[in-house]
Chains A and B, each alone.
Chain A
């Protein structure tokens, strides 16, 4: 159950996506996420789907592994669908007592579901194909222009990398704690919601204790190695754009243009370009 959370996990594989510069992947993910939210009609979603399929295919991470992360999203997804479906005003299609399903509600619910699913898959691909250290390197370099405005980019990057690094460790720890407590007869699966919440105490307390201990140990380790975030550092493997990275940027540009173009497509029985021409 707990192993289903793929967010923040790295999947080792030798693929084009893995070898891309982390800055490219960061920008691509950002562009993809933005494109999801500016998409207004079916063509934009079509392009986003194609984009996603290509990315999934190229990163060579097993599809099953990528969508594993979606299981934990299910509740959020259901809540969003529920609210959109019943609380959007418009043309009533179906009426169930106080609940009214409208045509607009259905469309928005579907859109939101697609957005959420694509969002998780898209960001999963980023973390699955990029090691936390590369991700932080990319962030640090990509955001280094903010240093001019006195933004502590290095510290933020460090915090991010620690947070990302510790997700899989904590997940593993949850697994071990659950095993230890289940060996003592703890039951995490059965019972009503109050019993379930109560049964989490034996899980959460050891988890917090160990997380704080880990944070403490890490701080000591960094102190004893005289870590300082404003030291000037050189990199073992400096980030450098390769040909493939520029090509990816070009494809990204094409994708953005396509997405923007879809905003001018109007569907009125037949498809026609409006305003644009």
Chain B
């Protein structure tokens, strides 16, 4: 069953001029429970604006968003409650860090959700351990490095245990190890706790590795939604969206043209690697 449904969403930033362009233009898609969705598109294509709509921060000019079948634009809809269920981590962690210590900051969301102080701090500590930054818990969040700040920002959302987790370019500012750890962590959440994941990225290799659904945006319009191979191997869509097809897909396609029988559902690095090894 689809957990989140976006219907004909339109949005413009400035309502004072009739001519102003739609930042989101008639975007419709639906996301199922346990999906791992990647949103791709070049800068300014409306990706960040789209995710700000998904937890009700922005009100669409027209169109509708359904969470578990009910419209979040209904008058009496509890938007704060929704935000505990749909957690959004924005691109800049600096915008949400404010407490004296890291652990206070992480616990903020949990306390707002209604947990008791003890519970919230216990949970925060667990989350910090998950991100391997428990040694920083009494530091000031302002003295951390960029990558560490990012992890604290993630932890601040994770602590609310949302059903859907949304990330705006989660890999920016993380080193390679932290990035792999982070993706493995959300993969684990996705597999074990059935958390739905939506993430924006410019790295198409990560899309192949982790996503099971891809949304391509260009100039506010939804170009395509589908399985990673369907989308990434579609030359026309990739060209229209101004994106480069990943090398792996290019090689994969060439091999297929040469008559090798390859499984398009197995695109993760290990799977691809094994498929190509098996060719001989």
Contacts and interface: CB of A to CB of B under 8 A. Distances in A.
Interface of A: 62, 64-65, 173, 176-177, 179-187, 201-202, 205-206, 209-210, 213
A187 B84 CA distance: 12
A185 B107 CA distance: 11
Interface string B90-111: 1010111110000000001100
A62 B16 contact: yes
Contacts of B90: 176, 179-180, 183
B160 interface: yes
A201 B96 CA distance: 11
Contact of B95 (A62, A176, A187, A201): A176
A183 B92 CA distance: 13
B160 to A, nearest CB: 7
Interface string B159-182: 010000000000000000000000
Interface string B16-38: 11000000000000000000000
Interface of A is mostly: helix
Contacts of B108: 184-186, 202
A180 B88 CA distance: 8
Nearest to A63: B16
B16 A183 contact: no
Given A186-B108, A206-B95, 16 more contacts: A62-B17, A65-B16, A179-B52, A179-B90, A180-B95, A182-B83, A183-B87, A183-B88, A183-B157, A184-B96, A185-B83, A186-B112, A202-B96, A206-B98, A209-B97, A210-B94
Contact of A184 (B17, B52, B94, B160): B160
A185 B57 contact: no
A190 B156 CA distance: 22
**Interface-central residue, B97, B98, B157, by most chain A CB under 10 Å:** B98
A185 B16 contact: no
Contacts of A205: 98
B157 A176 contact: no
B45 interface: no
In this complex, the interface size class of chain B, counting residues with CB under 8 Å from chain A, is 20 to 34
A206 B95 CA distance: 6
Interface in B121-153: 142
B59 interface: no
A206 B98 CA distance: 6
B113 A185 contact: yes
B16 A201 contact: no
A183 B55 contact: yes
A177 B96 contact: yes
Nearest to A184: B109
Interface in B53-93: 55, 57, 80, 83-84, 87-90, 92
Contacts of A181: 96
Nearest to A68: B16
A185 B156 contact: no
Contacts of B109: 184-185
Contacts of A62: 16-17
Contacts of A179: 52, 57, 90, 95
A184 B156 contact: yes
B94 A185 contact: no
Nearest to A213: B94
Contacts of A173: 95
Contacts of B89: 183
A207 to B, nearest CB: 9
A136 to B, nearest CB: 26
Contacts of A186: 108, 112
8 contacts: A180-B96, A183-B83, A184-B109, A184-B156, A184-B160, A185-B84, A209-B142, A213-B94
A15 to B, nearest CB: 14
Contact of A183 (B57, B98, B113, B142): B57
B16 to A, nearest CB: 4
